[in-house]
Amino acid sequence: MTGLTEKAGGGPPAAGRDAEEAHQRWEASMLRQLETLRAEVRAQSPETLAARCGARSHAGCLSFNYWSRPVSITWPALEPEWTTEGAPCSIFDCAMFLYYLRTADGAPLADRWIGFRDLPAGSFYNQAFQGYSGDRLARAFGAEPGAFDDAASSLAGLRLPALAEHAFAFQPLPRIRLAAVLWPGDDEFPSRASVLFDAAASHYMTTDGLALLGSGLTGRMEKARRA
C-alpha cells in the first residue's frame, strides 16, 4: 500500500530513524480501528455530527469539502465518495474523515496559532514532524520566497501578514485550519519554515491525523511549485 503521507499529499518520508518510526506510527494509528470508528460515529445523529463538524446533512449523507474537493459520506454506511466524480475515496481518506467526525465537538476556531509540539502528546514527535513539514518547505522554497507565495495562492491560501511576510492559512476540513510560514535566510541565518495549527485543531482531529494533514499541506505546496 502506498504510504499514507503520500496519500495525504506529501512525498517520501524524511531521512532519519526517528522520522521513519514516527511515520510508521502515524500510518498504523490511522487504519487500526476503522470499523470501531464507524460504530462510534453512528452513535450520534447525522444532524448532530453536521452541526459539530461544519458539514451538511441531507438526502441520507453528510457533505463537506476536503482540501476544497467536495465529499459525500453515506449514512449509516459511512462510505465516503468524491461528490463530483461519484468515485469512492481511498482507505486513507476514509480514515481521515471518520476520525474527523468522531473527534469533532463543535468548538469554535481559536484564531491563535500553535506548533505541533503544543498539540496533545505532540512534543515527543515534534522533531520528526518538523522534518516532514517545515524542513521540507525550507529546502524547497527558502531561496525563492516568491515561489512559496505563488504555490500557497494556487492552493487558495489566505495571507497572514500579522504572522509573517510569507505566511498563509489553509482549511483542509471545515473546522481545521493550518498555516505554512516561511522565513527566508540570508548570509547569516539559514531559511526556516513551519506548519502551524489553529489552537482548536485537537477538538477536530487526533494528533496523528493532524501530523498527516500537515505533511499533506507540505506535499501540496511542493507539487504546486512543480505544476
- Least Cα distance to 8 among 145, 129, 143 occurs for 129
What pLDDT does 26 receive?
61
What pLDDT does 114 receive?
98
> Would strands 69-74 and 176-183 be described as parallel, antiparallel, or unpaired?
unpaired
- With beta carbons less than 8 A apart as the criterion, state whether 9 and 90 touch: no
What pLDDT does 5 receive?
40
Q: Which amino acid is at 219?
A: G
Question: Which residues neighbour 203 within 8 Å (Cβ) at sequence distance 6 or greater?
Answer: 103, 104, 105, 106, 107, 175
**Between 91-103 and 207-226, two packed helices, what is the crossing angle to 10 degrees?**
130
Ordered mean pLDDT values, 10 residues apiece, the chain (227 residues): 40 49 65 85 95 94 96 95 93 91 97 97 94 96 96 97 97 98 90 98 95 94 89
- Least Cα distance to 218 among 126, 113, 148, 156 occurs for 148
What pLDDT does 23 receive?
57
What is the spatial distance between Cα 12 and Cα 219, in angstroms, rounded to a whole number?
9
Question: Which spans in 63-133 are helix H?
Answer: 91-103, 126-132
Q: What is the pTM of this model?
A: 0.86
What pLDDT does 226 receive?
81
What pLDDT does 116 receive?
98
What pLDDT does 1 receive?
23
